């Protein structure tokens, strides 16, 4: 019987079964709780509380200590602790107050670190951006403002202050009202601050069992003070939990950030393009955090390709101005590639404040560094550099409560150590840059000299003083063709003394290399009228054997101005050359020159009688390009050319007559006759010429054009129908032909018929019926032309709106949809019935269609406008967001439900969207309080319209004290 009454030995084998059973029951219970959603609710509640606590701690730190560096924070915390410790001997309660203050200081700083670190993670994941946020990204304003402050040194300082404050709090409690909460060692008469500090430190050392350093090293046994009552134990437990959370957050965040950044940098150097491209796109989101490890990896690279040297500054530029101080610190690096890349990136960031540092590096021993420095200086001196928003702009405008003077003095001292004078203005920066680039023209490295020349060209006319030095360089570098080409282009951009510059470029026109001659010709063209003396030299190049040289010379003459007598004589000689090719090339060049070759028109007319078909064709085409100024001498010859034996000459003659303007009225009979020529191209050009002549051709050509409207060639029919619309109001025969053309087999003819109907403006029933039918034409161009003319002819007729909406929603061609939306917009408020279709297009269509749909909604203002503008403000396309934000300005009133979308638009990366949103916000009956901080930020923007709109909105905003 004893065997059956035996009690199970739970301390042996059955204990294991019991433990496993309890685990199974716990797992089942957890599964049930998960299925019913209780665990999810608890996790969400915990997350909400955690986020609220972190955000609240950050706000406390921001209000009271956001101005302080970690050194200042530690100094303040130490002062509070020392004051509480010293004065607590007389006023023990003061130790409680000072200890609690230190705990609040330290805890808020720890939570601020966690808050900023979470924002860093959002930047890494692409949800936020520190610099130039894209659509869909929020600006990481807190990271941008406090990222340099809130780093590991602040976290360590906060931990020290918190631990020391906890010790002081416990000492104060022990000495005032809670001595029973603590158990004091028997050999300790009266515990001192050091005992409570040891008590606090041991709480940190045994955060988790895995890290229970205190217990493993028997430190707990040496404690003089321990909790004896639940209040002290609760304080110690809360203290331990807080530091556990902070420690785990820091450990995991550091591992995550360090691992991701290290992998991204390693992938950047990968030879595999997809891996490299992914890393290249990912690096900018890390911002200033990536600078040190990236430069460290750069030092380990044995050699750097030109592509890599070019890419790195672009990547660094996309990180934004916040990295400028870090780049400046790397200008003294021992590795040449680090110095070169840092310098080039500062130039791309338009950091004019770094100009003195870069100037000091212009004498660097490395040619690669000097080249990067010269490139950067050229970018700093460009006209756009003065308008670029500099780092710290907002702080300079609003004023800084700390650190500003120290930073400014520090930078001044660093510049003074290098022996460089700080420029006072952007003009001084340009002067400093230009002087340095002028010195670089004497550099021993050809690459550096070439970069200096190119940089001077980027600066433009502000570098005109260097022109004499550059001209001397041109004379010295006779064998370097690439440098000569760059020097020629730069001379054309900077100008200088006109005659000296023109003479130097004329000298380059005699170079052996065609590339140099073409570059010099282009530069002379850039000088325009200042290079008038170079026209004869340019005219000589019109007979060069290289087409690129001839084209450049002809285009330059066209820019410089009319041909003078000497140049005209040179070209006339070319037209009279015995060489057929020379004659043809000269005529072609004169056509390229265009109206500036007016004086050569008589010679070209003479060349129209040349024995060679090509010469005649080039001469006729050149006359057409010179235009109406040559009509007096050219029209009779062109009429004769319509009878030329060569069809190409005839076709070009018809085209040229169309370019003679009203002076070609006498050519109408000849052009009408040409409509019956056997060659279709001649007929096409004749019809186009008659269309260009307009009403002047009505009397003598209408019958011929009506006959041509039934031509066997579709191209001729379409041009004839178009011409009928151009020459004046319709006659019955013309109207019948256009109505018949609505059903032509050739889509070009149908489109031409729609165009002519629109020109006539006749809105009778047959025309409208034909146009409405063409809205469903299989050809896209026909539908586009119909959508263009229908609103003008038919107005907001229901069938027109219905047809345009059908094309907007059902057509498979984006341009057709876009033109349908554009047509609906032209109908204005009368097309309110199209609101739903336009809203759908604004949501789902291609970007060009969305743009036109949003524009139409802004013009019509249908009931769907509120929803459409809210959708448009979230669009990925900048232009759509601009139109959506501008739509509120055109509205009769801005409803209150638009406020959330407008508040979001105040964060948009595009300044015009922010300006429109601020202007619309001012029209609200009541400006929301949450919009005020964003409006204040916008009111300090460099953009005038945004500042004005924000200030106007702020006048209507609710008054509230500014956070300090």
Q: What is the mean pLDDT of residues 366-378?
A: 92
The Cα–Cα gap between 536 and 546 comes to: 18
Q: How many CA atoms lie within 13 A of 547 on its CB side?
A: 3
Please tell me whether residues 142 and 230 are part of one structural domain. yes
- pLDDT, tens digit, 9 for 90 and up, residues 258-286: 567 777 888 888 888 877 888 888 888 77
**DSSP β-ladder status, 128-129 and 182-184:** unpaired
Residues 18 and 72 in one domain: no
Spatial separation of the C-alpha atoms in residues 353 and 359, rounded to whole Å: 11
Tokens representing 441? 């023209």
| Residue 96 forms part of a structural domain | yes
Residue 891: predicted pLDDT: 83
**Residue 147 and residue 278 in one domain:** no
The C-alpha atoms of residue 239 and residue 223 are separated, in whole angstroms, by 17
Average pLDDT for residues 165-173, to the nearest whole number?
Answer: 86
Q: Are residues 62 and 113 in the same domain?
A: yes
Q: Which positions ≥6 away from 368 have C-beta within 8 Å?
A: 309, 336, 337, 340
Q: What tokens does 154 get?
A: 């602040």
CA atoms within 13 A on the CB side of 776: 9
DSSP of 873-918: TT-SSHHHHHHHHHHHHHSS---GGGHHHHHHHTT-SSHHHHHHHH
| Cβ contact 257:124 at 8 Å | yes
Q: Lowest-confidence range among 297-301, 339-343, 647-651, 732-736?
A: 297-301
In 10 A of CB 582, how many CB atoms? Answer: 18
Q: Which domain holds residue 298?
A: 269-381+401-440
Are 774 and 750 in contact by the 8 Å Cβ rule? The answer is yes
- List all residues 6 or more positions away from 662 whose beta carbon is below 8 Å from its beta carbon: 693, 696
Residues 60 and 104 sit within 8 Å (Cβ to Cβ): yes
What is the average pLDDT across 244-257?
58
Residue 806's nearest CA partner among 788, 830, 825, 787 is 787
> Where residue 741 falls among pLDDT bands split at 50, 70, 90?
very high
Task: Say if residue 754's pLDDT is above 50.
Answer: yes
pLDDT above 60 for 725: yes
The answer as to whether 435 is a domain residue is yes
The residue-averaged pLDDT of 640-657 equals 93
Contact 66, 116 (CB under 8 A): no
Residue 788: what pLDDT?
A: 94
Number of domains within the chain: 3
Six token digits for residue 528: 């325009």
What would the two tokens of residue 495 be? 């100008």
pLDDT, tens digit, 9 for 90 and up, residues 659-688: 998 888 899 999 999 999 999 999 999 999
What is the spatial distance between Cα 159 and Cα 157, in angstroms, rounded to a whole number? 5
Encoding tokens for residue 210?
A: 């895995």
d(CA 925, CA 902) in angstroms, rounded, equals 14
At residue 77's C-alpha, the angle toward residues 71 and 83, to 5°, is 130
Residue 402 has pLDDT above 50, yes or no: no
Rounded average pLDDT over 93-111: 89
Q: What is the pLDDT of residue 623?
A: 93
Among the candidates 440, 471, 488, a domain finishes at 440
Model pTM score: 0.66
Q: How much is the mean pLDDT over the chain?
A: 83
**Structural tokens at position 636:** 């009779």
- Residue predicted with more confidence, 477 or 663: 663
DSSP notation for 545-578 = S-HHHHHHHHHHHHHH-S--HHHHHHHHHHHT-S
Please state, in angstroms and rounded to a whole number, the distance separating the CA atoms of residues 441 and 370: 12
The answer on 313 and 227 residing in a single domain is: no
Widest distance between CA atoms in the chain: 140
CB atoms within 10 A of CB 75: 13
Q: What does the block give as tokens for 136?
A: 């869909």
Tokens of residue 702, six digits: 């209408």
In tens, the pLDDT along 572-623 reads: 888 888 889 888 888 988 888 888 888 889 999 999 999 999 999 999 999 9
> 124 φ, ψ to 5°?
-60, -35
Identify the pLDDT of residue 415: 34
Does 180 lie in the same domain as 78? yes
DSSP H stretches of helix in 729-779 = 732-741, 747-760, 765-774
Q: Quick check: is 192 in a domain?
A: yes
**Pairing of the two strands 182-184 and 138-139:** unpaired
From the number of C-beta atoms within 10 Å of its C-beta (0-12, 13-18, 19+), residue 202 rates as buried
Sequence-ordered alpha helix ranges (H) in 594-713: 601-607, 613-626, 631-641, 647-658, 668-674, 680-693, 698-708
Confirm whether 260 is domain-assigned: no
384 pLDDT tier (thresholds 50, 70, 90): low
Q: Which two tokens stand for residue 795?
A: 């107005």
In the prediction, which pLDDT does 393 show? 31
> Radius of gyration over alpha carbons of the chain, in Å?
40
CATH number for the domain harbouring residue 289: 1.25.10
Residues 174 and 291 in one domain: no
| pLDDT average, residue stretch 123-145 | 73
Helix (H, G, I), strand (E, B) or coil at 608: coil
**Two tokens, residue 274:** 């997809």
| pLDDT, tens digit, 9 for 90 and up, residues 531-571 | 888 888 888 888 788 889 988 988 888 888 777 777 778 77
Shared domain for 141 and 208, answered yes or no, is: yes
Question: Which residues lie across from 225 on neighbouring strands?
Answer: 184
What lies within 8 Å, CB to CB, of 917 at 6+ separation is 873, 885, 888, 902, 905, 906, 908
Asked if residues 700 and 668 have their Cβ atoms less than 8 Å apart, the reply is: yes
Interatomic CA distance for residues 66 and 58, integer angstroms: 9
288 in the same domain as 236: no
Considering the domain architecture, whether residues 152 and 187 belong to the same structural domain is answered as: yes
Structure tokens at 40: 């999810």
Alpha-helical segments (H) within 209-286: 213-216, 230-268, 273-282
Contact 162, 154 (CB under 8 A): no
pLDDT at 17 over 80: no
Predicted local confidence at residue 562, as pLDDT? 74
Residue 373 lies in a domain: yes
137 within a domain of the structure (yes/no)? yes
Tokens representing residue 372 in the block = 């990067």
- Reported as a single tens digit per residue, the pLDDT across 875-928 is 888 899 999 999 988 888 888 888 888 998 998 888 899 999 999 988 888 888
Whether residue 327 sits in one domain with residue 363:
yes
d(CA 161, CA 76): 9
Helix (H) or strand (E) holding 414: helix 404-417
- Unique residue bearing structure tokens 């991701």: 260
Same domain, 244 and 273: no
Last residue of a domain, one of 182, 217, 252: 252
Q: pLDDT of 425-439, one tens digit each?
A: 556 788 888 999 989
CA 535 to CA 533: how far, in whole Å? 6
Q: Is 555 within the bounds of a domain?
A: no
Identify the domain boundary among 227, 252, 277: 252
Cβ pair 651, 685 in contact under 8 A: yes
CA neighbor of 595 nearest in space, from 634, 569, 622, 613: 622
- Asked if the structure places residue 637 within a domain, the reply is no
Which pLDDT tens digit goes with each residue over 182-198? Answer: 877 776 677 888 888 88
């Amino acid at each position: 019987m004893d065997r059956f009454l035996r009690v199970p030995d739970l301390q042996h084998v059955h204990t294991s079964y019991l433990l496993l059973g309890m685990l199974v029951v716990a797992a089942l219970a957890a599964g049930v709780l998960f299925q019913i959603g209780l665990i999810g609710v608890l996790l969400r509640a915990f997350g909400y509380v955690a986020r609220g606590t972190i955000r609240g701690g950050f706000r406390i730190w921001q209000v009271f200590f956001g101005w302080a560096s970690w050194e200042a924070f530690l100094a303040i915390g130490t002062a509070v602790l020392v004051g509480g410790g010293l004065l607590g001997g007389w006023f023990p309660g003061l130790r409680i107050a000072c200890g609690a203050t230190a705990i609040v200081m330290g805890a808020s700083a720890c939570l601020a670190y966690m808050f900023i670190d979470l924002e860093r993670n959002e930047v890494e994941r692409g949800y936020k951006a520190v610099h130039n946020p894209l659509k869909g990204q929020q600006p990481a304003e807190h990271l941008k403002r406090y990222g340099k402050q809130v780093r590991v040194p602040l976290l360590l300082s906060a931990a020290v202050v918190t631990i020391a404050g906890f010790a002081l709090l416990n000492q104060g409690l022990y000495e005032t009202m809670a001595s029973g909460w603590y158990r004091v060692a028997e050999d300790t008469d009266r515990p001192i601050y050091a005992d409570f500090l040891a008590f606090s430190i041991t709480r940190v050392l045994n955060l988790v069992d895995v890290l229970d350093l205190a217990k493993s090293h028997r430190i707990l046994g040496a404690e003089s003070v321990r909790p004896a009552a639940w209040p002290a134990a609760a304080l110690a437990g809360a203290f331990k939990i807080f530091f556990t959370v902070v420690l785990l957050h820091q450990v995991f965040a550091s591992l995550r950030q360090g691992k991701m950044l290290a992998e991204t940098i390693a992938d950047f150097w990968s030879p595999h393009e997809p891996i490299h491209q992914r890393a290249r796109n990912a690096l900018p989101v890390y911002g200033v955090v990536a600078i040190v490890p990236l430069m460290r990896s750069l030092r380990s690279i044995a050699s750097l390709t030109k592509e890599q040297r070019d890419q790195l500054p672009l990547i660094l530029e996309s990180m934004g101005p916040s990295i400028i101080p870090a780049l400046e610190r790397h200008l003294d690096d021992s590795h040449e590639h680090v110095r070169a890349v840092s310098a080039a990136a500062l130039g791309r960031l338009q950091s004019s404040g770094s100009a003195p540092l870069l100037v000091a590096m212009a004498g660097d021993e490395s040619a690669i560094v000097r080249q990067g420095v010269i490139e950067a200086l050229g970018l700093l001196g460009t006209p756009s550099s003065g308008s670029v928003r500099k780092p710290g702009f907002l702080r300079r405008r609003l004023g800084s409560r700390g650190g500003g003077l120290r930073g400014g003095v520090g930078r001044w001292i660093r510049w003074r150590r290098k022996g460089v004078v700080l420029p006072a203005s952007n003009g001084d920066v340009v002067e400093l840059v230009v002087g340095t680039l002028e010195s670089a023209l004497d550099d021993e490295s050809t690459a550096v000299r070439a970069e200096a020349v190119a940089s001077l060209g980027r600066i433009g006319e502000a570098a005109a003083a260097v022109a004499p030095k550059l001209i001397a360089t041109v004379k010295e570098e006779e064998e370097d063709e690439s440098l000569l080409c760059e020097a020629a282009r730069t001379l054309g951009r900077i100008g200088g003394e006109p005659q000296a510059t023109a003479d130097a470029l004329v000298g380059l026109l005699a170079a052996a290399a065609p590339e140099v001659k073409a570059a010099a010709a282009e530069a002379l063209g850039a000088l325009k009228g200042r290079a008038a003396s170079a026209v004869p030299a340019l005219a000589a190049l019109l007979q060069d054997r290289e087409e690129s040289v001839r084209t450049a010379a002809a285009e330059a003459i066209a820019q410089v101005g009319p041909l003078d007598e000497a140049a005209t004589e040179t070209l006339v000689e070319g037209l009279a050359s015995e060489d057929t090719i020379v004659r043809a090339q000269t005529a072609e060049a004169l056509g390229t020159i265009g109206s500036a070759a007016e004086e050569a028109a008589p010679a070209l007319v003479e060349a129209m009688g040349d024995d060679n078909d090509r010469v005649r064709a080039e001469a006729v085409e050149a006359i057409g390009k010179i235009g109406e100024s040559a009509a007096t001498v050219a029209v009779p010859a062109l009429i004769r050319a319509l009878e030329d034996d060569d069809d190409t000459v005839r076709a070009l003659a018809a085209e040229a007559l169309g370019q003679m303007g009203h002076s070609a009225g006498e050519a109408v009979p000849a052009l009408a006759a040409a409509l019956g020529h056997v060659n279709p191209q001649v007929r096409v050009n004749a019809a186009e010429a008659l269309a260009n002549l307009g009403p002047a051709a009505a009397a003598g050509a209408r019958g011929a054009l009506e006959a041509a409207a039934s031509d066997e060639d579709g191209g001729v029919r379409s041009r004839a129908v178009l011409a009928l619309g151009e020459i004046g109001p319709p006659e019955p025969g013309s109207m019948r032909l256009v109505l018949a053309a609505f059903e032509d087999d050739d889509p070009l003819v149908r489109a031409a018929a729609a165009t002519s109907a629109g020109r006539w403006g006749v809105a009778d029933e047959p025309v409208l019926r034909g146009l409405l039918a063409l809205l469903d034409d299989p050809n896209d161009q026909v539908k586009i032309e119909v959508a263009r003319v229908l609103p003008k002819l038919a107005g907001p007729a229901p069938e027109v709106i219905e047809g345009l909406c059908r094309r907007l929603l059902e057509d498979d061609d984006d341009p057709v949809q876009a033109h349908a939306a554009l047509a609906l917009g032209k109908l204005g408020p009368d097309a309110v019935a199209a609101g739903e279709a336009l809203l759908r297009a604004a949501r789902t269509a291609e970007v060009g269609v969305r743009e036109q749909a949003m524009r139409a909604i802004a013009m019509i203002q249908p009931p769907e406008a509120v929803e459409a503008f809210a959708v448009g403000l979230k669009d990925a396309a900048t232009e759509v967001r601009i139109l959506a934000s501008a739509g509120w300005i055109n509205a009769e009133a801005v409803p209150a439900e638009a406020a959330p979308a407008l508040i979001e638009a105040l964060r948009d990366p595009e300044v015009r969207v922010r300006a429109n949103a601020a202007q619309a916000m001012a029209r609200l009956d009541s400006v929301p309080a949450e919009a005020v901080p964003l409006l204040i930020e916008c009111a300090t923007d460099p953009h005038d319209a945004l500042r004005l709109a924000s200030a106007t909105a702020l006048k209507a905003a609710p008054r509230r004290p500014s956070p300090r």
